[in-house]
Amino acid sequence: MELIFLSTNAMVKEFHLRNKSISYTKAHIQDKEGQLKRDYKMLKAARMQSGSKWNEQRNMVEGSPAMWENLVVTFPKIKKFQNNKASFPLYDALGELYDGHLVEGTYNFTSIESQCEEETLLQIDDVEDDAQAEEEALQEIHEARDENDEEKDARDEEEEARSGHGCIKKETRKGRTNA
CA–CA distance, 65 with 53 (Å, rounded to integer): 13
- 6 assigned to some structural domain: no
- 137 assigned to some structural domain: yes
Same domain, 137 and 83: no
The 10s digit of each residue's pLDDT in 15-43 is: 888 888 888 888 888 898 899 999 999 99
Domain interval for residue 49:
25-98
- 93 assigned to some structural domain: yes
- 7 assigned to some structural domain: no
Same domain, 94 and 130: no
The 10s digit of each residue's pLDDT in 89-99 is: 999 888 888 88
Single pTM value for the model: 0.50
- 40 assigned to some structural domain: yes
Residue 115 has what pLDDT? 47
DSSP string, 1-58: -------HHHHHHHHHHH-TT----HHHHHHHHHHHHHHHHHHHHHHHSTT-EEETTT
Which residues of the chain are under the pLDDT cut of 50? 1-3, 111-116, 166-168, 171-172
Same domain, 32 and 77: yes
Residue 40 has what pLDDT? 92
Say how many domains are in the chain. 2
